Amino acid sequence: MVVDSLLAVQLNQKIDAIAQHIGNSTQNSPDLMSGKSGEMLFLAYYHLYKNDETKENKTTIILSSIFDEIKRGFKYPTFCNGLAGIGWTVEHLVQHNFIKADTNKIIGSLDDFLYPYMMHYIREGNYDYLHGALGLGLYYSSRKSSERAHGYLIDLVAELDRQATRMDQGIAWERKLKPDSDVRGYNLSMSHGIASIITILSRLYEAGICKDKTLELATGAVTYLLSNRRTADAKYLFPGWVCKEETEMIQGGRLAWCYYDMGISIALWQAGQLFGSERWKKEAIDILLHTTRILDLKEGGIHDAGICHGAAGIAHIYHRMYRYTNVDAFRIAAIFWFEQCIKMASFDDGLAGYKTFQVAEYGGWQKDYGLLNGIAGIGLAMISFVSDIEPDWDSALLLS
């Protein structure tokens, strides 16, 4: 993408500053979304961007420290904070030639270790991609050389089929909507809900896993998702979730990867691509175009620059969809939100000027090195915008 020279200079300066901070990080947690694995992912792409021939050695050093943490007893299973995300990262680095390794030897033991957790999660109704069964399924989908992983994915599809709620509006999966509440319903989001299920079912279909069943489930899920679309005059077209006990949709929304229209749009686009539905792809474009009218940070619910619900994530989704569709409105929107991202580097004591917003009860503004909310994700989005490198790293966020 052609980038304005001033913005390109500003982004490159930020990328270098982020790399320096991550290179000096003393983060101990080995996980993907907030820990060393996410930092390693950034550095791998950064050194590729800089054409640094020592990138494999630097990545291997971090990988060794991650495995040291695992040897010391790290056994948390999830994709966001645990072994599934670490395993996915290793597979990604090997498959994209950042490092050379036999993944069956170095992470193959995870296949059997994670399976009971995946089945426990899904049978308890925890299909969450970040913190439950679907994230472990995402790990297995990356294990292309493992026959066991293929079999485990068949079991996952069977459980998704068994747990599906079939109704006139389509297919959905019921869950507890908040940890501290007994309210149940259907979460529509990319981070925790039906949009992520659609995306992962699309990947499994592409991989030849239970094609008839994944097609049936994904088609029903898309139908249900679209049945909750609001009228065109609404600021945001989709709610975050639908409560079983309520007949009216909950109002509200924001610009974000995690919830509402943007994540839903890109989930529909990928499903349309992989299942061959031009109608779904058109819906995806229309939904995302609807969001481009929102240019005010307060109106968009934006406080910081992180990937999850900040300016870099918004910019990257627009950039991704521009690459997919060549719709110029998405290019213009990506530029606008990367400009906002530069402006948000305003903290003298921040990491390259950045801090992550938390409400006061969770500590207020914080330094964050991570992929999901911190500078690793911000830096990766920037690299993807100013370079011709395919941003395959974002498959961890279900964006490719």
Confidence check: pLDDT of 348 > 70: yes
The predicted pLDDT at position 250 comes to 59
Entry pTM? 0.96
pLDDT band of residue 252 (cuts 50, 70, 90) is confident
CA–CA dist 124, 101 (Å, integer): 36
Neighbours of 247 (CB within 10 A): 6
Per DSSP bridges, beta strands 184-187 and 175-176 are antiparallel
The predicted pLDDT at position 5 comes to 87
The predicted pLDDT at position 244 comes to 74
The predicted pLDDT at position 58 comes to 79
309 known ligand binder = yes
User: Model confidence over 136-171: pLDDT tens digits?
Assistant: 999 999 999 999 999 999 999 999 999 999 999 999
Spatial CB neighbours of 322, under 8 Å, sequence gap ≥ 6: 1, 328, 330, 331, 334
Stretch 363-392: mean pLDDT, rounded?
97
The predicted pLDDT at position 293 comes to 98
Confidence check: pLDDT of 378 > 80: yes
Stretch 113-124: mean pLDDT, rounded?
98
Residue with tokens 């917003």: 357
Contact predicate 175/139, CB 8 Å: no
pLDDT band of residue 27 (cuts 50, 70, 90) is confident
The type of residue at 258 is C
Stretch 302-322: mean pLDDT, rounded?
98
Burial class of 358 by CB neighbour count within 10 A (0 to 12, 13 to 18, 19+): middle
Give the relative orientation of helices 147-163 and 211-227 as an angle to the nearest 10 degrees: 40
Stretch 295-305: mean pLDDT, rounded?
97
Confidence check: pLDDT of 192 > 90: yes
User: Model confidence over 35-94: pLDDT tens digits?
Assistant: 999 999 999 999 999 998 766 677 889 999 999 999 999 999 999 999 999 999 999 999
More confident call, 278 vs 5: 278
The predicted pLDDT at position 104 comes to 96
pLDDT band of residue 249 (cuts 50, 70, 90) is low
pLDDT band of residue 333 (cuts 50, 70, 90) is very high
Confidence check: pLDDT of 345 > 70: yes
Q: What is the DSSP letter of 389?
A: -
Confidence check: pLDDT of 131 > 70: yes
pLDDT band of residue 247 (cuts 50, 70, 90) is low
Q: What is the DSSP letter of 32?
A: S
Q: Is the dihedral of CA 361, 364, 366, 368 positive or negative?
A: positive
